[in-house]
């Protein structure tokens, strides 16, 4: 079974530029998550989708971050304009719906804003 | 507000000995707990989980213990191997929400 796919793996951009990350979840997983992990910290949830609807985006900085999950499969996370403090690993994860589930992570997209 | 806490940023253990990683949580609604292992430049990998109806779950060298009254869980690795050197994250979920909250991680070094 293929895992969660993410791209690009690494990206370096200047502040105020824009960047987009793509995620393809495990086939059949209805729930998709985007997490931000800053060095030395644990993953922090940015947004959670159930199929193509948003379940929770309370910690998404909506003035600069946006995410979509068209057709309930792939998802894109965009940052525009980027700030230095956005330097982090952006982790996509997916799970089946229901209780007692495990979430599975992709390898992450590493962003450096200079 | 950090709902899941790992108070030890790092731990060093001799190969063959037991590694014990600890995790505390504050939200009494959490009823499902997981441990993830993360190597540098990779995403977290699922290791083991436990439901709140149990107090212990074992998988090979890995055992997770849950103390609901203390809101505490621990991961035991025995015997520890150099390949276990990684950052370990605990996570907690209230299954009604299907949301997961992570601790800040403990970096384990197993010394050969």
Token reading at A90: 């952006």
**How confident is the model over B1-33, as pLDDT tens digits?**
689 999 999 999 999 999 999 999 999 999 999
Cβ-defined contact of B46 to A42 (cutoff 8 Å): no
d(CA B65, CA A40): 25
pLDDT at A19 over 80: yes
Query: Angle at the Cα of A70 (from A64 to A76), degrees rounded to 5?
Result: 40
B101 DSSP 8-state letter: E
Cβ-defined contact of A43 to B46 (cutoff 8 Å): no
Quote the pLDDT of residue B80: 98
Nearest residue to A111 via CA among A35, A4, A26, A25: A35
d(CA B77, CA B59): 10
Instruction: List, as ranges, residues 9-38 from A with C-beta within 8 Å of B.
Output: 31, 33, 35
Nearest residue to A73 via CA among A36, A102, A20, A32: A32
pLDDT at A72 over 90: no
d(CA B12, CA B2): 25
**How confident is the model over A57-67, as pLDDT tens digits?**
999 999 999 99
Helices vs. strands in chain B: H and E counts, helices first: 0, 11
Cβ-defined contact of B98 to A99 (cutoff 8 Å): yes
Quote the pLDDT of residue B14: 97
Cβ-defined contact of B4 to A43 (cutoff 8 Å): no
Quote the pLDDT of residue B96: 76
Cα B65 from chain centre: 9
Positions in chain B whose pLDDT score sits under 50: none
d(CA B15, CA B58): 20
B51, B99, B102 ranked by CB distance to A100: nearest: B51
Nearest residue to A84 via CA among A14, A3, A7, A10: A14
d(CA A87, CA B48): 30
For chain B, the C-alpha Rg in angstroms (whole number) is 13
d(CA B44, CA A109): 13
Mean pLDDT throughout A3-31?
A: 96
Q: Smallest CA–CA separation between A104 and chain B, in Å? A: 7
d(CA A29, CA A95): 5
Nearest residue to A100 via CA among B51, B46, B24, B44: B51
Nearest residue to B47 via CA among A96, A33, A102: A102
Mean pLDDT throughout A13-27?
A: 96
Beta bridge partners of B51: B32
């Amino acid at each position: 079974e293929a895992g969660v796919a993410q791209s690009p793996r690494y990206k370096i951009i200047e502040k105020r530029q824009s960047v987009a990350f793509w995620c393809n979840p495990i086939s059949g997983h209805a729930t998709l998550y985007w997490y931000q992990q800053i060095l030395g910290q644990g993953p922090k949830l940015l947004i959670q989708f159930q199929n193509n609807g948003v379940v929770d985006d309370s910690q998404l900085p909506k003035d600069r971050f946006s995410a979509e999950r068209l057709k309930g499969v792939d998802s894109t996370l965009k940052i525009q304009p980027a700030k230095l403090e956005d330097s982090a690993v952006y982790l996509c994860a997916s799970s089946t719906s229901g209780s007692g589930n495990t979430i599975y992570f992709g390898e992450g997209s590493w962003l450096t804003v200079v | 507000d950090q709902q899941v806490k790992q108070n030890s940023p790092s731990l060093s253990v001799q190969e063959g000995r037991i590694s014990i990683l600890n995790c505390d949580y504050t939200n009494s609604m959490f009823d499902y707990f997981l441990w993830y292992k993360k190597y540098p430049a990779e995403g977290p990998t699922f290791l083991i989980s436990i439901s709140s109806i149990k107090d212990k779950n074992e998988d090979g060298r890995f055992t997770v213990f849950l103390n609901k009254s203390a809101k505490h869980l621990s991961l035991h690795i025995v015997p520890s191997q150099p390949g276990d050197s990684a950052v370990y994250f605990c996570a907690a979920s209230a299954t009604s929400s299907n949301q997961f909250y992570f601790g800040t991680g403990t970096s384990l070094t197993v010394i050969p």
